[in-house]
Chain A
Amino acid sequence: MLQFSLWDILSNLLIATQWTIVLSLIAFVCGGVVGLVLLFMRTSRIPVLEWSTKIYIELFQGTPLLMQLFLFFFGIALFGVEVSPWMAATLALTFWTSAFLAEIWRGCVESIPKGQWEASSSLAMSYIEQMRYVILPQASRIAVAPTVGFSVQVVKGTALASIIGFVELTKAGTMLNNATFRPFVVYSLVALIYFCLCFPLSWWAKKIESRLNVAR
């Protein structure tokens, strides 16, 4: 029988970690782009856009990420398209991330004093111009800390992609456990790797936050 040393387990887990990182990055970047569009819609003061964004956010924040993964995985297949776990995971995580980021950023936009909106509109700026030149530059400063903080949730969220069969860190852990029968070691290492990915992000978010508090 094939024997696994501790190093074999770790090196295999580290290979799978690459996919956790890739999936996290894609979900975060794509989710950020979609989230920005949602943010514009949500703050546009056009009722139809505002309402539809509100419902979108409510749907994605009010259902488990696992259900969203299942629905994308089985839902797209209904159209006769072959769905890989990779595609379903990317789509579900992107939309899930976008809903949360849009809501976080909305909070930041709304914390900008009303006078800034009024001043820029009295300068005959359009809504897009107001956002681009006046509101977002100020809001983005406040947004950095919670956004970095949320990236930790994205990394942890990718662990659920293992359930629909995408081989990332957690799935690799399960597979290695089945091969080695050493669950304590395997899952400790998996947790440790996640910790090494997430802790620097958490720490960074905290640091930016405290720096902002001093500036105030």
Chain B
Amino acid sequence: MNYKLQFGELLPHWDVLLWGLLFTVVLTVVSTVAGIAVGTAGASARTFGPKWLGSLVAAYVEVIRNTPFIVQLFFIFFGLPAAGLKLSESTAAFLAMTVNLGAYSTEIIRAGIEAVPKGHIEAGISLAMTKWEVLRHIVLKQAFEKIYPALSSQIIIVMLGSAVVSQISAQDLTYAANLIASRNFRNFEVYLLVALAYLLLAMLTRSLLRGLGRILFKAK
């Protein structure tokens, strides 16, 4: 190999990378919160809602889980404007991530809900709790505790998948990498650096989520 790696050439562009990193983090955090909200609603609707709503949620889950994220993203960003709904690239990225995580977390949370013993629900009802109270204090609380690890790994998968939003020119970390590469042609160096950044971000997210889990679900 006659090529010498030149990481020094990336130095002048540190601010671009930092903004990209920030966008990726914000994108992940916001769509995680929104996605889990969608997932909770979806899972509750599937287990306790009317049958037609359950089938609708099931269809949503299957469609999202069986198509690539990039196609969902393109459909939302390029396809929806043709149907009259125009979105900015950041909004489209947020929406696609939320819809995507929403489907996966619906499945994960549903598994958690189904693992809650039926007796607990009956006990709650016999204590004159309303349907909502049972759902909130008995079912979801236990469900989340059980599926927390699975949900954490899904969040990391979605975070890594967010690299794709650069393709609709949402200005995330990968977009920053592409931009720098197009300026100084140090493709390999910049992608290596950014891959490392993603790796650190994934490891950091994992330990943060683990810590959060320890606080949320303290040993009884």
Contacts and interface: CB of A to CB of B under 8 A. Distances in A.
A21 interface: no
A133 interface: no
A200 B197 CA distance: 36
Given A74-B191, A195-B67, A67 B2 contact: no
The secondary-structure label for the interface of chain B is: helix
Interface residues on A, range: 35 or more
Nearest to B201: A62
Contacts of A156: 67-69
Interface string B51-77: 000000000001101111111101100
Interface string A134-162: 00000000000000000010001101101
B176 to A, nearest CB: 12
Interface in A52-104: 58-59, 62-68, 70-71, 74-75, 77-80
B129 interface: no
A63 B160 contact: yes
A75 B199 contact: no
A170 B198 CA distance: 25
B199 A59 contact: yes
A177 interface: yes
Contacts of A190: 71, 74
A183 B78 contact: yes
Contacts of A65: 160, 163
Interface residues on B, range: 35 or more
A67 B74 CA distance: 19
Interface of A: 58-59, 62-68, 70-71, 74-75, 77-80, 152, 156-157, 159-160, 162-163, 170, 173-174, 177, 182-184, 186-188, 190-191, 194-195, 198-199, 202
A203 B83 CA distance: 31
A152 B1 contact: no
Contact of A79 (B1, B81, B195): B1
A170 B161 contact: no
B72 A191 contact: yes
B11 interface: no
Interface in B118-169: 160-164, 166-167
